Chains A and B, each alone.
Chain A
Amino acid sequence: MSGLISVIIGLAVIAAVAWGLRFIGRATTGNSPRFRDMTFAVAFGYVVAAIAVAAVIYAFAQSYSSDPIVANTYFFVWILIVAFIFFAVVAFVFRLAGRLIGTSGSRKLFRQMPLTASFGIITIIVYAFVAIFAAWLAPYAQDSYVGGVNIAPGGNIDTGGDPAFLLGTDKRGGDILSRVIYGAQNTVGIAFITTLLAFFLGGTLGFLAAIAGGWVDQALSRAIDVLMAIPSLIFALLLMTIALLWAEGDPTFITMSMIFIIAVIDSTRVFRLARAVGSGIVVMDYIEAARLRGEGFGYVMFREILPNATAPLLAEFGLRFCFVFLTIASLSFLGVGIQAPLADWGSMVRDGANYIQNLQIVGQDWVREADEETLAMLNIDKLVRQASLPLIPAAAIALLTVAVNFVVDWMLHRSSGLKS
């Protein structure tokens, strides 16, 4: 309960400081408009932001601590901050370059682009680059177990690292950096293929329902309704059980059936959209003209409807990709997704999960006050070494989905011209 109370006290303190900030601001600047018109929420926001910045700087400083336990504990935060600054700077430079170089059309595009969208685009480009060239970028193969086990990340020998393994090694001795890089290829690549398959299935059926109408439309729509009535993760897990029984331990079969299962489940959502968009287009005059010309089914579907439905489908593709990607990551995390010889982020998180639980011991008061000898006996140093192990792949997943969401947000904003 003490945790809850301290959270409430913390919020109360922030509120008090915010009120004080506004009051002092008004008093010292002689009621300048900046402070006079400041709402309480804005003052509160400033205080929270200041605390957040201070916490980030504190954590960054902690990662350079001479105490290896502390340094290793905060290593993940260090990676997060450095990656964030790196991507933000690159995004800014990317947008600046786009504004100066290129045709007038592309320059205009970049001028209107918000920083979040440019952040998203550059992140996606980096991921795609890493995924395609994984074999050249990774220092080791994904299934080779090299060097010692449980080497700390950071490459600093003082904190238990090894310069040959920048992000350390896992409990089987696999190089984490290589596995993260190959994970980009496997996890992102498989998610991409699955989304393409889902769009092919759902899009074709949706357009078919829209063009044919009548009983075809009714039968397809009701069948899809039933499939959508089962929560997707639960349905995926049920079907994966069956796939596991069929596979009899064959990892390729499990991965392939996972792709197919998720594609089918997600195609139901694509079907809904494709049907809705398609039935709006089918009633247009040019479709009627094409039909009167005697064009076939396929021509109407792919040459008349598809080009006119590209914009909403493309935005949906981004969102679907995120869902598929997260579902695959969740399944792999639960142990029934992408299988062992392939390195992937979801199962890396699961493999490393116990390191976080181990780390919990460090926070205990008696450990903080214990002498060197006890610490050595407990092997604390080793315990905390790899807390960042599950967090790096988890953050890699989160970063990509956030990036895709930023880009989709911007695309929707552009295509509809919608404001807030």
Chain B
Amino acid sequence: MGSILNIILQRLALGGLTLFIVSLVIFAAVSSLPGSFADAILGQAATPQAVAAMEEALGLDKPAVTRYFDWLFKAVQGDFGTSLSQANFASFAGSVADTGVTVADTLAPRFANTMFLAGLTAAIAVPVAVTLGVLAALYRNSIFDRVTNIFTLSSISSPEFFMAYILILFFSVLNPFLPSLSEIYNGMPFGERLENTLLPALTLTLIVTAHMMRMTRAAIINLLASPYIEMARLKGMSPLRVIVKHALPNALAPIVNVIALNLAYLITGVVVIEVVFVYPGIGQLFVDSVKTRDIPVVQACCLVFAAAYILLNLIADVLSIISNPRLRHPK
């Protein structure tokens, strides 16, 4: 047991280190910008005095190293600074803190929305993918297998927005089942919220399921040649029982790994899908901020996305170690 804890702690430390370096990369990228934030807010016509005052207010006159650690410590405490697009010249003329809208305020509700979307997708996609994978392995080389193969290959290779528009066309235009725009507000009843989130969640499911399903199928088929599977078959077990009771537990390690990796992919895939469905999540905020060049928000979103991505990859890593005795007890 001690060794598992050790391994997990080791991986966590490694993940933390990676995140630290990633934050450094993000900060360095943003620091290489031409001009300063103050110019960006005040525009071309600003007087040098105004720019200097603004720089002082934002702490931009300090050296880069100080600014980096300031930003990092505040970010760790959940304070990502002030959003540029919200803060205009007038609010800065007085004081920075009381009128400007903080990035954390904008981010928090949207982060919850994105988590809801990702959670719903995972809740649909994981069982569907594993079931389909088991079925495809069970009926391998049948028509069912071939059709799912072509279908998954096409859905892996299509762009996300194509899938989204095809689903909108079929489920909300030609047959009006579901709304094509996701309206989400605070205090919305759960049922209504579920209905409004279902179409984006289904689109993401289509994209994520394909990969998970193919890996489940491959992992199970890989095991079917082993002697113990043949033994189970010779005992006269039904093919479904052979796969579910004997092959699946041993194939669990790669499957769990792929699921975690796909959830990490989900974090990226969410950006385009949220834009298509106008879903008020963190991905949409990110794209909007990129377009309006709202640097603090872009920085914060980037850090959140990177953290989620690193965390999920970490989980995949740890799970694959825990589920594999050979990795758990290295010689």
* CA of A228 to CA of B42, assembled, Å: 36
Q: How large is the interface on B (under 10, 10 to 19, 20 to 34, 35 or more residues)?
A: 35 or more
From residue A214, how far is it (CB to closest CB) to chain B in Å?
22
Residues of chain A within 8 A (CB-CB) of B29 are 238-239, 242
**Which B-chain residue is minimally distant from A239 (CB atoms)?**
B29
Residues of chain B within 8 A (CB-CB) of A7 are 177
Asked if B272 and A42 make an inter-chain contact with CB atoms under 8 angstroms apart, the answer reads no
* Interface presence of B123 (CB below 8 A): no
**Which A-chain residue is minimally distant from B289 (CB atoms)?**
A241
Residues of chain A within 8 A (CB-CB) of B306 are 229-231, 234
* CA of A409 to CA of B291, assembled, Å: 38
* Interface presence of B302 (CB below 8 A): yes
Asked if B154 and A402 make an inter-chain contact with CB atoms under 8 angstroms apart, the answer reads yes
* Interface presence of B130 (CB below 8 A): no
Most B CB atoms within 10 A — which of A234, A397, A401? Answer: A234
Residues of chain B within 8 A (CB-CB) of A246 are 33-34
* CA of A46 to CA of B175, assembled, Å: 24
Mostly helix, strand, loop or mixed at chain B's interface?
A: helix
Asked if A234 and B268 make an inter-chain contact with CB atoms under 8 angstroms apart, the answer reads yes
* CA of A48 to CA of B18, assembled, Å: 48
Asked if B142 and A45 make an inter-chain contact with CB atoms under 8 angstroms apart, the answer reads yes
* Interface presence of B73 (CB below 8 A): no
Residues of chain A within 8 A (CB-CB) of B34 are 245-246
Q: Which of B139, B175, B291 contacts A42 (CB 8 A)?
A: B139
- The number of inter-chain residue pairs (CB within 8 angstroms) is 193
* Interface presence of A326 (CB below 8 A): yes
Mostly helix, strand, loop or mixed at chain A's interface?
A: helix
Most B CB atoms within 10 A — which of A3, A44, A45, A356? Answer: A3
Asked if B169 and A356 make an inter-chain contact with CB atoms under 8 angstroms apart, the answer reads yes
Asked if A336 and B157 make an inter-chain contact with CB atoms under 8 angstroms apart, the answer reads no
**Which B-chain residue is minimally distant from A395 (CB atoms)?**
B162
Residues of chain A within 8 A (CB-CB) of B165 are 349, 353, 356, 390-391, 394
Residues of chain A within 8 A (CB-CB) of B175 are 363
Residues of chain A within 8 A (CB-CB) of B195 are 1, 3
Contact with A along B168-200 (1 / 0, CB 8 A): 110111111110110000000001001100100
User: If A230-B22, A234-B306 touch, does A394 touch B159 (CB 8 Å cutoff)?
Assistant: yes
Q: Which of B143, B157, B177, B180 contacts A45 (CB 8 A)?
A: B143
Residues of chain A within 8 A (CB-CB) of B153 are 402, 405-406, 409
Residues of chain A within 8 A (CB-CB) of B157 are 322, 398, 401-402, 404-405
* Interface presence of A362 (CB below 8 A): yes
User: If A41-B135, A326-B159 touch, does A357 touch B181 (CB 8 Å cutoff)?
Assistant: yes
User: If A233-B268, A234-B306, A394-B159 touch, does A39 touch B142 (CB 8 Å cutoff)?
Assistant: yes
* CA of A390 to CA of B147, assembled, Å: 27
Asked if A334 and B287 make an inter-chain contact with CB atoms under 8 angstroms apart, the answer reads yes
**Which B-chain residue is minimally distant from A388 (CB atoms)?**
B169
In the complex, chain A residues 365-420 whose Cβ is within 8 Å of any chain B Cβ: 387, 390-391, 394-395, 397-398, 401-402, 404-406, 409, 420
* Interface presence of A244 (CB below 8 A): yes
Interface residues of A (CB under 8 A from B): 1-4, 6-7, 39, 41-42, 44-46, 48-49, 73, 76, 116, 225-227, 229-235, 237-242, 244-246, 322, 326, 329-330, 333-336, 349, 353, 356-357, 359-360, 362-364, 387, 390-391, 394-395, 397-398, 401-402, 404-406, 409, 420
Interface residues of B (CB under 8 A from A): 18-19, 21-22, 25-26, 29-30, 32-35, 40, 135, 138-144, 147, 150, 153-154, 156-162, 165-166, 168-169, 171-178, 180-181, 191, 194-195, 198, 221, 264, 267-268, 271-272, 275-276, 286-287, 289-291, 293, 295, 298, 301-302, 305-306, 309-310, 313
